[in-house]
Amino acid sequence: MKFKTCCFSGHRKLPSNRIEQIVKRLDHEIDCLISQGVTDFISGGGLGFDQLAASFIIVKKEMRQDIRLIFALSCVAD
């Protein structure tokens, strides 16, 4: 089975005066990606945009079972 993937990466601090615009645009773009067959969504899991995007995927996954969220967590070795 072939999967289509989208990766999210963004700023930790989102401008408070643009949060509503970012949320609306992100929701729209994720819906467009799902309608184009994207099934896997990868998020870095960091604060800010990464967590916002991941939360959208969690909500959308509850509505449809054929998408999944994958976290790509960074690791720093000592």
Report if residue 19 sits inside a domain.
yes
For the chain, give the mean pLDDT.
Answer: 88
* DSSP structure string for 22-71: HHHHHHHHHHHHHHTT--EEEE---TTHHHHHHHHHHHHHHH-TT-EEEE
What is the domain count for the chain?
A: 1
Report if residue 66 sits inside a domain.
yes
Digit-coded pLDDT (tens) for 37-70: 999 999 988 788 999 999 999 999 998 778 999 9
Amino acid present at 69: L
Report if residue 51 sits inside a domain.
yes
> Which residue range is the domain that position 49 belongs to?
5-71
Report if residue 76 sits inside a domain.
no
Collapsing DSSP to helix, strand or coil, 77 comes out as coil
pTM of the model: 0.84
Contact 40, 4 (CB under 8 A): yes
Amino acid present at 27: D
CATH number at 58 reads 3.40.50.450
8-state DSSP, 5: E
Report if residue 77 sits inside a domain.
no
Residue 12 pLDDT > 80: yes
Report if residue 27 sits inside a domain.
yes
